Amino acid sequence: MKKNNIDKLKRSIQNVFDGNSKKILNPRQIASMLGIESTEGRNEVIIALKLLVKDEALEEVSPGKYITVFKHKFIEGKVEMTQRGSAYVIPDEGGEDIMITPEFLNTALNRDKVKVNLFAQRGEKRSGEIVEVLERNKMEFVGVIQVAYNHAFVVADDKKMYTDIFIPLDKINKAKNGDKVIAKITEWTLEHKSPIGEVIEIIGRPGYHETEMHAIVAEFGFSFKFSEEVENEANKIPDKITKEEISNRRDFRKITTFTIDPDDAKDFDDALSIQKIEDGIWEIGVHIADVSHYVKPGTIIDEEALERGTSVYLVDRTIPMLPEKLSNGLCSLRPHEEKLTFSVVFKMNENAELLDVWYGKTIIYSDRRFSYEEAQERIETGKGDFAEEIKKLNELALKLRSDRFKNGAVNFETEEVKFILDENFKPVSVYKKVRKDAHKLIEEFMLLANKKVAEYGHNSKKGTPRTFVYRVHDLPNEEKLKLFSAFASRFGYIIRTQSQRAISQSMNELLAKVEGKPEQNLLQQQAIRTMSKAFYTTKKTGHYGLAFDFYSHFTSPIRRYPDLMAHRLLFEYLNNGKSANAEKYEVMCKHSSETETRAAEAERASVRYKQVEYIKDFIGEEFQGIISGVTEWGIYVEITEYKCEGMIRLSNMADDFYEYDEHNLCIVGRRTRKKYQLGDIVEVVVKEADVLKRQVNLDMAGNVITSRNLRRAEPNRKDRRRNEKKSNQKSKKKGRR
């Protein structure tokens, strides 16, 4: 038998064993599986088996019986559960994700750090078995308790928690059947089908606003309250600024300074000062609350701030990173009060070209607190106090913005949903937040300050890079970009991919053209998903979306811990300190990125809850929507007017049997060949709205309007109740936002 032929046969036999890794097989069975019937062929199988045993690929467990030799390859990574019970492990070392089917999870839960035994690869996807949970992501879960005669279970709200938690009756902590609670897992071994736990807190009865908001906060691992120890420590911090402290700072108290923030803001991180140095030369100060003066490393307040990582903004409240005395008091740059700040001061000409930059500790006195609406009025009318100063800042900001886009920045403008709530926190109106020049004015100067701080933090006088905290944003994923380009072309938009500059320019053109169109939100969201996710690290790689080689977060230390780290490092380097320990800061950066993700998820959950609560009043009514997602079990439709997403189950589409086409992201009727694809405009009826699950179920109301004739689609304006609510909104003078 030729060597090539025997090698080919060995590979075929190995494939048989890979597909039957735990089975003992004999030569006759193997020959049958390979379709070999001749005596000569069976003899060749026996020869190949002997060679595979010699190669230590197979083991002959008894005469004529063989089993594969397991060569374990262990990989560590993080679990990402799907809502259907299977999971993927994202390897720490990089590379393709590892698919884990439910029977091989072995008690691992979403975002746990695990060790995986990698199976021999069959087909395109890698798969394996979790052999050890190295680190639990969390042990506490929010859910509804179901109390029976001799035991109880907590059914978790988290859709990625695939099992109930068994609670012995002596561990229910006086919870009543149907209560929403926080349960802590205390034990889970392979012998137990479900984890065993105890109730550690009763939140309240499901469906009530306060209960659901508390549940969202707990679900994502945050807390409304600070410990008594933290509050006491904050209260001990002196309110008075000493003369000695003032003498060590640059004094801006007599220079025109003001803040511009949302109308309902209480924690003012940043202020701007402006003064004319000479004809055509301006000094612009970006003054940031000097949190590092009050919060020292290693203190209990600092440890709590690091653990929280960020403030969380829900629809009805803010969960601050720092105790109120600091966040809304000492550190907040309130008007007509002397405040300690850390500043970046720019000297620039009329073309917004930088002539000089100064960094240092300062003291300011804010002359005025503007809301965005008040500042916008001065930009548009040129009237009111400080109108000239605001107009000049806006002129400079517009030039900075223009230069940034010329350099390749991408203009991501996402639609943000806001609510007007009544006295019982019930949503009475939904509106989309509009960003105008006043918002962009503040944004440009904050971006410039963050950029210049990152540059200074990185570059030492000796030319050796220093440890610093960067906000980095990698290049777009090439495969995702191709998919997005094909998707955008359905709407008539072209994404040019021949260079990074071409990508950013064509992306900006698209984002400008879709503004105000029905497909705006969908294309904006798909564009963002194409991009890599920004994160914190000590490893400088630049920020693709902003087109900056250096970028950090420095301007919001009241609400973001990475900004506080940047303040400390900058101050150290301004005073000729040595480069900080990169490993120590990298750990804190990673934690900050994780808490940022959880905070964003909590914020989205609170918005989703209010969207579902609002749409519940429209059961049975028709809306126009755009297909925002297609899966094998249903299609997701975003109601255009309220940006609320619901699902139409394929099993409820009675006009045909629809099949999922994964490659083209569509479903196709088996009989009619009718196609529904991502981006199509459809008319839907609200069928159900479950506020507890934060889910909306829809039914199809009429025929699909494809993306090709999208421009001819007219919005649906037929609902009487919506018009009534809009009329009520106009007459309503005040509302919580």
| pLDDT tens digits for range 158-182 | 989 999 999 999 999 999 999 999 9
Q: What residue numbers bound the domain in which 685 lies? A: 622-718
- Band of residue 359 on the pLDDT scale cut at 50, 70, 90: very high
Statement: residue 730 has pLDDT above 90: no
Query: And the tokens for 171?
Result: 């561990």
Q: Are residues 514 and 568 in the same domain?
A: yes
DSSP helix/strand/coil, 384: coil
DSSP helix/strand/coil, 16: helix
Q: Are residues 89 and 162 in the same domain?
A: no
Q: Is residue 192 one of the residues assigned to a domain? A: yes
- Band of residue 68 on the pLDDT scale cut at 50, 70, 90: confident
What domain count does the chain have?
6
Give how far Cα 36 sits from Cα of 13, 15, 24, Å. 12, 15, 19
* Each residue's pLDDT tens digit, 302-312: 999 999 999 99
Please give the helix or strand (H or E) that residue 717 lies within, else none. Answer: none
* Each residue's pLDDT tens digit, 648-692: 999 889 888 999 988 777 899 999 999 998 888 899 999 999 998
Where does a domain end: 561, 582, 607? 607
Statement: residue 732 has pLDDT above 80: no
Overall average pLDDT of the 271-286 stretch: 97
- Dihedrals phi, psi of 42, to nearest 5 degrees: -65, -35
Q: What angle do CA 698, 205, 619 make, to 5 degrees?
A: 20
**730: exposed, middle or buried (C-beta count within 10 Å: 0-12, 13-18, 19+)?**
exposed
Rg of the chain in Å (alpha carbons):
30
Q: How many helices (H) and strands (E) does the chain have?
A: 18, 33
Give how far Cα 387 sits from Cα of 76, 258, 351, 380, 400, Å. 58, 12, 20, 10, 20
Query: And the tokens for 209?
Result: 């606003």
**Spatial CA neighbour of 592 closest among 536, 640, 636:** 536
Where does a domain end: 43, 68, 93? 68
List of residues 6+ apart from 532 with CB closer than 8 A: 473, 474, 475, 476, 477, 544
Q: Is residue 391 one of the residues assigned to a domain? A: yes
β-strand partners of 682:
625
Q: Are residues 523 and 637 in the same domain?
A: no
Q: Is residue 423 one of the residues assigned to a domain? A: no
What end-to-end distance do the CA atoms of the chain give, in Å? 81
- Which ranges of 295-351 does DSSP label H, i.e. alpha helix? 300-308, 324
List of residues 6+ apart from 207 with CB closer than 8 A: 691, 692
Return the amino acid letter for 311: S
Where does a domain end: 163, 191, 206? 206
Statement: residue 724 has pLDDT above 50: no
Q: Are residues 237 and 359 in the same domain?
A: yes
Q: How far is CA 9 from the centre of its chain?
A: 50
Domain with residue 22: its CATH number is: 1.10.10.10
List of residues 6+ apart from 11 with CB closer than 8 A: none
Q: Are residues 126 and 110 in the same domain?
A: yes
* Each residue's pLDDT tens digit, 537-589: 999 989 998 999 999 999 999 999 999 999 999 999 999 999 999 999 999 99
Q: Are residues 345 and 254 in the same domain?
A: yes
Q: Is residue 46 one of the residues assigned to a domain? A: yes
Give how far Cα 632 sits from Cα of 84, 130, 440, 649, 665, Å. 12, 27, 41, 9, 10
Q: Are strands 140-147 and 152-156 parallel, antiparallel or unpaired?
A: antiparallel
Q: Is residue 221 one of the residues assigned to a domain? A: no
Q: Is residue 215 one of the residues assigned to a domain? A: no
* Each residue's pLDDT tens digit, 113-163: 999 988 766 556 788 889 899 999 999 999 999 998 888 999 999 989 999
DSSP helix/strand/coil, 547: coil
Statement: residue 714 has pLDDT above 50: no
* Each residue's pLDDT tens digit, 645-658: 999 999 889 888 99
Q: Are residues 598 and 449 in the same domain?
A: yes
Domain with residue 108: its CATH number is: 2.40.50.140
Q: Are residues 117 and 17 in the same domain?
A: no
Return the amino acid letter for 341: T
Give how far Cα 597 sits from Cα of 216, 217, 219, 308, 593, Å. 14, 13, 13, 12, 6
What pTM did the predictor assign?
Answer: 0.82
- Band of residue 72 on the pLDDT scale cut at 50, 70, 90: low
Domain with residue 175: its CATH number is: 2.40.50.700
Q: Are residues 353 and 244 in the same domain?
A: yes
What is the per-residue pLDDT for 430? 87
Q: Are residues 537 and 602 in the same domain?
A: yes
Q: Are residues 527 and 675 in the same domain?
A: no
Percentage, residues of the chain above pLDDT 70? 93
Q: Are residues 684 and 707 in the same domain?
A: yes
Q: Is residue 212 one of the residues assigned to a domain? A: no
Q: Is residue 352 one of the residues assigned to a domain? A: yes
Q: Which residue has the higher pLDDT, 478 or 154?
A: 154
